[in-house]
């Protein structure tokens, strides 16, 4: 009996000391105008308070959150010290809230619901994507990718505000800083901190004007090397070369003429003797618009692997996962 009495006395003393400390802290905060330091507060007490305000019975509230009746009584004592208010008092019908308790009963569920959603959210449905997406893509790949991607997203994500496409040379830094959501293109190295997913594999093809003199000759590597080539410039001001699209080294007799746009290069090739080497899907798109022939090169360049690329900062983000899934589904459909 003496042992139990000492325990009860100690518990009461601890509660009073805690209540005095919280009252002092609260008064100090009121005097200085500072916010209460949340690190000094056990936020589990708010879970107990929510149950107490809902059930208004210490035993039932404890059962709801898996605590014993003594533990809930101790929690109520600490809560009274924290808020400097009785919060719940006894009446003829059980516990009833004080005005402060009623005020907390109105605000606490919403606050805890927000915290629970922040901690437990694991998935986001498409309608929750609330902003525009930014895609980095090479100029020539945009011709092959966007005609298929845009209708897909318009049907599956009509809420998506915009899909801004930026030059691929901004991909590395933009993905890391969050200015770019995804990049689509060719990458032949694994950059630390970046993820990639294969979308499809393409082959290279040549674009020549319909009456190009080379078409009347034997189509050999030597003859091919003597032709004047057009190429798309991909020099990076940030020297992030590995993430760029690159065409195979053809060892041509003369340096290629560089163009910043694949369409500009194609228009010039349709009126000159230039030959333009691009992925076959791009060549097919361009030849449908300009008087150009699509011809297989007289060599076998390495396959052109088109990848979806993103930075690890967004790897586990539910919204970003959804966007990656939709872009990949659009571009993998009908892939070679």
Backbone phi, psi, residue 219, to 5°: -90, 85
Domain boundary among 72, 96, 118: 118
Whether residues 230 and 289 fall in one domain: yes
190-199, 203-212, 247-256: range with lowest mean pLDDT: 247-256
Q: Is residue 291 part of a domain?
A: yes
Is 50 inside a domain boundary?
Answer: yes
CATH number of 224's domain: 3.40.190.10
Looking at the domain assignment, is residue 14 inside a domain? no
Report phi then psi at 284, rounded to 5.
-65, -45
Residue 186 located in a structural domain: yes
How many angstroms separate the Cα of 229 from the Cα of each of 30, 225, 274, 303, 324?
76, 9, 5, 20, 36
pLDDT-based confidence at residue 182 (cuts at 50, 70, 90): very high
Residues 213 and 268 in one domain: yes
CA 233 distance to own-chain centroid: 30
pLDDT at residue 5 tops 90: no
- Whether 217 and 291 map to the same domain: the answer is yes
pLDDT > 60? residue 261: yes
**What are 65-78's pLDDT values in tens digits?**
999 999 999 999 99
The predicted structure's pLDDT at residue 30: 44
pTM of the shown model: 0.62
Task: Specify if 12 maps to a domain.
Answer: no
Cα separation, 42 vs 32, whole angstroms: 22
CB atoms within 10 A of CB 331: 20
pLDDT of residue 17: 60
Pick the residue with more confidence: 321 or 23? 321
Asked if residue 27 is part of any domain, the answer here is: no
Please check whether residues 236 and 184 belong to one and the same domain.
no
State the pLDDT confidence band at 6, using cuts at 50, 70 and 90: low
Lowest mean pLDDT among 180-194, 282-296, 304-318: 180-194
Q: How many CB atoms lie within 10 A of CB 222?
A: 9
Statement to judge: residues 99 and 143 lie in one domain: no
Q: 91, 118, 145 — which closes off a domain?
A: 118
Which of 55, 84, 118 corresponds to the end of one domain?
A: 118
**Pair 178, 323 in one domain:** yes
Mean pLDDT to the nearest integer, 92-105? 89
Range of the domain at 272: 203-301
9 within domain boundaries: no
pLDDT band at 166 (very low <50, low <70, confident <90, very high): confident
Residue 53 shares a structural domain with residue 172: no
Of 45-49, 92-96, 197-201, 323-327, the poorest mean pLDDT is in: 92-96
Q: Above 60 in pLDDT, residue 12? A: no
Residues 108 and 227 reside in one and the same domain = no
Which residues is 278 bridged to in the sheet?
205
Same-domain check for residues 63 and 146:
no
188, 311: one domain: yes
Whether 188 and 304 have beta carbons less than 8 Å apart is answered as no
145 and 193 share one domain? yes
Mean pLDDT of 123-136: 65
Report the Cα 77 to chain-centroid distance in Å: 44
pLDDT tens digit sequence for 196-226: 999 998 888 999 999 999 999 998 888 888 8
Percentage of the chain lying above the pLDDT 70 cut: 76
In three-state form (DSSP H/G/I as H, E/B as E, the rest C), the secondary structure along the chain is: CHHHHHHHHHHHHHHHHHHHHHHHHHHHHHHHCCCCCHHHCCCHHHHHHHHHHHHCCHHHHHHHHCCCHHHHHHHHHHHHHHHCCCCEEEECCEEEECHHHHHHHHHHHHHHHHHHHHHHCCCCCHHHCCCCEEEECCHHHHHHHHHHHHHHHHHHCCCCCCEEEECHHHHHHHHHHCCCCEEEECCCCCCCCEEEEEEEEECEEEEEECCCHHHHCCCCHHHHHHCCEEEECCCCCCCCHHHCCCCCCCCCCCCCEEECCHHHHHHHHHHCCCEEEEEHHHHHHHHCCCCEEEECCCCCCCCEEEEEEEEHHHCCCHHHHHHHHHHHHHHHCCCC
The total number of structural domains that make up the chain:
3
Find how far residue 24's CA is from the centre of its chain.
45
**pLDDT at residue number 126:** 46
Contact at 8 Å (CB) between 208 and 215? yes
272 and 245 share one domain: yes
In a domain? residue 176: yes
């Amino acid at each position: 009996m003496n042992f139990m009495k000492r325990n009860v006395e100690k518990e009461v003393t601890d509660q009073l000391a805690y209540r005095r400390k919280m009252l002092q802290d609260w008064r100090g905060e009121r005097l200085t105008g500072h916010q209460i330091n949340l690190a000094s507060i056990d936020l589990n007490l708010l879970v107990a308070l929510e149950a107490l305000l809902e059930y208004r019975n210490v035993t039932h509230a404890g059962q709801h959150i898996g605590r014993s009746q003594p533990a809930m009584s101790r929690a109520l004592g600490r809560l009274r010290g924290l808020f400097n208010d009785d919060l719940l008092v006894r009446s003829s019908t059980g516990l009833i809230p004080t005005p402060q308790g009623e005020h907390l009963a109105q605000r606490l569920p919403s606050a805890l619901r927000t915290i629970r959603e922040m901690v437990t959210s694991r998935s986001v449905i498409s309608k929750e994507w609330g902003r525009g997406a930014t895609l980095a893509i090479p100029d020539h790949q945009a011709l092959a990718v966007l005609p298929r991607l845009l209708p897909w997203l318009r049907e599956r994500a009509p809420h998506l505000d915009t899909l801004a496409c930026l030059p691929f040379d901004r991909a590395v830094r933009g993905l890391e800083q969050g200015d770019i959501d995804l990049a689509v293109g060719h990458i032949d190295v694994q950059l630390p901190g970046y993820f990639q997913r294969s979308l499809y594999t393409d082959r290279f093809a040549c674009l020549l004007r319909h009456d190009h003199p080379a078409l009347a000759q034997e189509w050999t590597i030597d003859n091919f090397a003597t032709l004047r080539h057009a190429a798309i410039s991909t020099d990076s001001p940030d020297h992030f070369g590995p993430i760029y699209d690159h065409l195979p080294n053809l060892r041509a007799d003369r340096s290629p003429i560089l163009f910043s746009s694949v369409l500009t290069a194609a228009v010039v090739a349709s009126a000159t003797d230039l030959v333009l080497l691009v992925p076959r899907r791009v060549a097919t798109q361009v030849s449908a618009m300009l008087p150009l022939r699509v011809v297989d090169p007289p060599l076998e360049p390495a396959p052109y692997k088109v990848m979806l690329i993103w930075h690890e900062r967004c790897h586990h983000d539910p919204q970003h996962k959804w966007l990656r899934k939709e872009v990949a589904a659009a571009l993998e459909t009908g892939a070679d």
